[in-house]
Amino acid sequence: MVQQSAHSELTMGVTRPPVTAARLTVADIQDMKPRGEKIVMLTAYDYPSARLAEEAGVDMLLVGDSLGMVVLGYDSTLPVTLEDILHHARAVVRGSQRALVVADMPFMSYQLKEAGAQAVKIEGGVHMAETVRRLVQVGIPVVGHVGLTPQSINQLSGYKVQGRTPEAAERLLEDAISLQQAGAFAVVLETIPAPLASLVSKRLRIPTIGIGAGVGCDGQVQVWHDLLSYATTFVPRHIPRHVKQYANLGAEIRGAIEQYAAEVRGGSFPTTKESFRMDRAVLSEVEAATAKPARG
Ligand code: KIV
């Protein structure tokens, strides 16, 4: 059960924000920046992941198009459709009460349908500013996303650190500023040098949410499967430098399933503990009533 509390809970020495029925608003998120409060964002793709993140006190849930890679098994985010995002966003909204839910706009999809999310995230800088402006004008809160933008992976020639040269760094700052001017309420900075992310965070009025962008951002976002090492697409391939694995759920789950399979095969599951009893007299009656007559 989601616990209700008026004050931050102290659970095993960890302070978490209270879980209240009221969802955080765009203004609540923006107000955290001047207070110096870090914004905690995590991807979620379904009801249980949203519930667990919510109970752990995450401020923003991102139904990222990383969905394509970590849940749907594609080798990039490009095949993800708006329908995919809507389907998963509805489950995340059902599984959360307090977190502000942001849904990714998948590659080449700039119409919008109702999923119950509070905001959308759009990849791209200056060239997407007009789209951001139009969405904001019709009342849709937008999170921008610059730096390593996986939807442009073919253009970027791989998952590489962005903004390393003076020109690229200036362009990135310009991209972020154009999104702020277009009305984005926050911007994700992905895989850029930490000092550049700190500079962008200082120059912007709106909060920056970093992933592979150092500690100077106003908040952080990570991909659920990477954080928990839960069947991530990066294992056993290359684990990006920005990923810190806080648990090893993949190994734990695989171990449990291996044990289940071994017990089924060896006949030690189920035991009487997992089985239902039947009155012996009832069984005898059924056996007698259904016995085949002996062949004459
Ligand atoms: O799709 C996603 O999960 C993202 C994050 C990596 C920011 O865009």
211 pocket-lining for ligand 1 (C-beta < 6 Å): yes
Q: Count Cβ atoms within 10 A of the Cβ of residue 269 and give its class: 0-12 exposed, 13-18 middle, 19 or more buried.
A: middle
How many whole angstroms separate alpha carbon 64 and alpha carbon 251?
24
Query: Which pLDDT value is given to residue 234?
Result: 53
Q: Which residues does the annotation mark as catalytic?
A: 190
The residue whose C-alpha atom lies closest to atom 5 belonging to ligand 1 is 64
What is this structure's pTM?
0.81
Query: Which pLDDT value is given to residue 15?
Result: 53
Cβ neighbours around 144 below 10 Å, total:
30
Tokens for 270, please give them.
């189920």
How many whole angstroms separate alpha carbon 166 and alpha carbon 228?
35
Higher pLDDT, 238 or 101: 101
User: With DSSP H G I counted as helix, E B as strand and the rest as coil, what are the percentages for the chain, rounded to 5?
Assistant: 40, 15, 45
Query: Which pLDDT value is given to residue 7?
Result: 34
Query: Which pLDDT value is given to residue 109?
Result: 65
Out of 70, 85, 104, give the residue to mutate to test ligand 1, the one with the largest number of ligand atoms within 8 Å of its CB: 104
219 pocket-lining for ligand 1 (C-beta < 6 Å): no
How many whole angstroms separate alpha carbon 85 and alpha carbon 68?
9
51 touches 95 (CB < 8 A): yes
Out of 46, 61, 102, 223, give the residue to mutate to test ligand 1, the one with the largest number of ligand atoms within 8 Å of its CB: 223
Distance 275 CA to ligand 1 centre (A): 44
Q: Can you tell me which residue has the tokens 């379904």? A: 46
Distance 191 CA to ligand 1 centre (A): 11
76 touches 68 (CB < 8 A): yes
Query: Which pLDDT value is given to residue 90?
Result: 96
Mean pLDDT lowest among 157-171, 181-195, 234-248:
234-248
DSSP 150: G
Distances (CA, A) of 60 to 38, 57, 195, 210: 11, 9, 24, 13
119 touches 184 (CB < 8 A): no
Residue 187 φ/ψ region, left for φ over 0, alpha for ψ in the -120 to 50 degree band, beta for the rest: beta
The residue whose C-alpha atom lies closest to atom 4 belonging to ligand 1 is 64
43 touches 230 (CB < 8 A): no
Distance 224 CA to ligand 1 centre (A): 10
Query: Which pLDDT value is given to residue 232?
Result: 62
Going by C-beta distance under 8 Å and a sequence separation of 6 or more, which residues neighbour residue 182?
Answer: 129, 130, 132, 133, 136, 142, 144
Distance 188 CA to ligand 1 centre (A): 9
Cα–Cα nearest to 80, from 90, 65, 70, 91: 65
**∠ at Cα 216 (212, 220), nearest 5°?**
50
Q: Mean pLDDT in the chain? A: 88
Higher pLDDT, 84 or 19: 84
What are 76-106's pLDDT values in tens digits?
899 999 999 999 999 999 999 999 999 998 8
118 — pLDDT class (breaks 50, 70, 90) = confident
Cα–Cα nearest to 71, from 94, 95, 47: 47
Query: Which pLDDT value is given to residue 152?
Result: 85
Q: Count Cβ atoms within 10 A of the Cβ of residue 199 and give its class: 0-12 exposed, 13-18 middle, 19 or more buried.
A: middle
Q: What sign does the CA torsion over 57, 63, 68, 69 have?
A: negative
